[in-house]
Amino acid sequence: MSGLDGLRPTLHALRDDVERHITRERVRRYLSILADTPAPSTLAGPMRVPALRRLLEEDGALGTGRLHFHADFGRTGSSVILTGSPGASKPLWYFAHLDTISYLVQPRDGGCYPLVPFCAHMIADGMRRAQAYRYDVLRNAVAVVADGQLESYAGAPFFRPDASAPPLRPGDRIVMVSSYREDPASGLFTGPMDNAGGVAALAIAAPVLGHAGVEAMLAFPDEEEGPVAPGNQMMGRGSSRLVNLLPVPELAIVADVQQGGGDPDADARGGVVNSTRLGAGAVLAEYSSFARGAVTPPDLYALARHAAGLLSELDVRVQESNNAYSSRSDDVSVMLKTPNILLLGFPGFNRHFDRGEPRAHLDDVVQLAKTLVYMATLRPWFTARRRALLGGDP
C-alpha cells in the first residue's frame, strides 16, 4: 500500500452505502433533535444520550450486530459506539464531543448571579436568553428551574433570573436558550450546533462504517467544554478519561465545528478570519488553536488532502482551512496517545453565541458525515506508508 493506485476504487466502493444512508433528511432529523436537547458538560449523558440512542434505534442501526452502543463506557461518563466485532482491536478512533457550553452559579449579588464559565466565554457585551437547569434528586430527572437572561459585561457573565424564579444554588447549570430553525430555501440554520453537528455527522456515519466492516471506536465525550488556559490540557477532560481504555490507534479523527470566515464574525485577534465558507463543504485543518492542540503530521495531512481531491469525483466537498484559527477540541487529549490525528469539521459562526445565535449550513454537516466515512479508508494506506518511511519497521 505504499502506492496510492488502489485508493480511488476503495473510495468509490463505499459510494452506494454512503449515498443510501447519509441523506439530507436524516442529517436534518438528527441535527434538529440533538440541537434542541441541552447538554451542559457532565450532564450531557443524562440529557442527550437518550435522544442519541433513540435516533439510532429508529433507524435500526442498533439491531444489526455491527454497532455496539455503550451509554457510559468504562464508567467514564461518556458514550461510545464500537463498530465491528466487540472483542476486536479498534485501530481507528473518532471523537465528537456531546456537551455544549454552560455556566456554574456563584452566590447572588443584588439582582443577578455571577457565573463561572464552564466553557470558553466568548459572548460579547449584551444579553442572551438563558435557563437554569437543576437535577431533582427525588424525581431522578433534570429540569428547568428558572428562566432569565445571561448578561455579559466587560467579559464577565451574569445570570439575571425572571422575578418568579426560585433562588439558585450550587449544582444548577445556566444554558443558552435557542432552537433549531432552518431556512429550507438556503439550507442555513440557526441553533446550538456546537457540537450537535459533529455528533449528528458521526452518529449517522456509524452504521455505514459498521456495514463496511470497519473496526472503530466512535466516542462522544461528555466534557469537551471546560475551563480554558494558554496551555493545552485544561479542556477535553471527557476524552482524557477514554483514551487509556483501548490500545493506541493507528489513526484518530476529531470532528467539531470550525469558525467560518467573513464579517461580522471577525476573529478577536484583529479581524483575521478563517477562509472557510458556509455551504462549501466539510473542513480539513492542519492544526488547532495555534498548535496548542493537535498538529497533523505532514505525511498524514498530505494523504488526507489527496483523498479530499478524490472525493470531489464523488460529489463530496472538503474545503481546506487556511489555519487563521481552528479551535482545539478533543484532540488536546488524543494527541497524548497518538500524533496521527485528522481534524475535520464544518464551518459555523457564533458557536458560543459570540455575537448572536449560532448559524451553519445543513449541507456542510451532510458533507462532514460522508467525509468521516471515506477518511476511514486512509488508515491502512497511512500505516503502510509510515512504515515504509521508517525503513520497514513493524
What's the whole-number average pLDDT of the chain?
90
**CATH number assigned to the domain covering 7-100+181-389:** 3.40.630.10
Residue 393 has a pLDDT of 64
pTM to 2 decimals?
0.93
* H-helix or E-strand spanning residue 282: strand 282-285
pLDDT in tens, 83-123: 998 889 999 999 999 999 999 999 999 999 999 999 888 88
For 157, the grid coordinates are 457573565
pLDDT of residue 181: 92
Contact 39, 220 (CB under 8 A): no
* Phi and psi at residue 18, to the nearest 5°: -60, -50
Residues 203 and 37 sit within 8 Å (Cβ to Cβ): no
CA–CA separation, 27 and 363 (whole Å): 9
d(CA 118, CA 225): 6
Q: What is the pLDDT of residue 268?
A: 39
Euclidean distance between CA atoms 79 and 69, whole angstroms = 8
Asked whether the predicted pLDDT for residue 58 surpasses 60, the reply is yes
* Chain centre to alpha carbon of residue 370: 15
Query: In this model, does residue 145 exceed pLDDT 70?
Result: yes
Q: How far is CA 392 from CA 1, 2, 388, in A?
A: 12, 11, 5
Query: What per-residue confidence (pLDDT) applies to 355?
Result: 84
Taking 50 as the threshold, does the pLDDT of residue 203 lie above it? yes
- What pLDDT is stored for residue 226 in this prediction? 74
| Greater model confidence, 23 or 236 | 23
Q: Residue 187: count other Cβ atoms within 10 Å of its Cβ.
A: 18
pLDDT digits (tens, 9 = 90+) for 331-350: 999 999 999 999 999 999 88
- Over residues 150-176, the mean pLDDT reads 94
Give the Cβ contact number of residue 301 at 10 Å.
Answer: 18
Phi then psi for 370, rounded to 5 degrees? -65, -45
Cα–Cα distance measured from residue 248 to residue 337, given in angstroms and rounded to the nearest whole number: 6
For residue 274, the model assigns a pLDDT of 58
C-alpha span between 274 and 258 (Å, rounded)? 9
The confidence score (pLDDT) of residue 230 equals 60
Residue 357 has a pLDDT of 86
Mean pLDDT of 38-60: 95
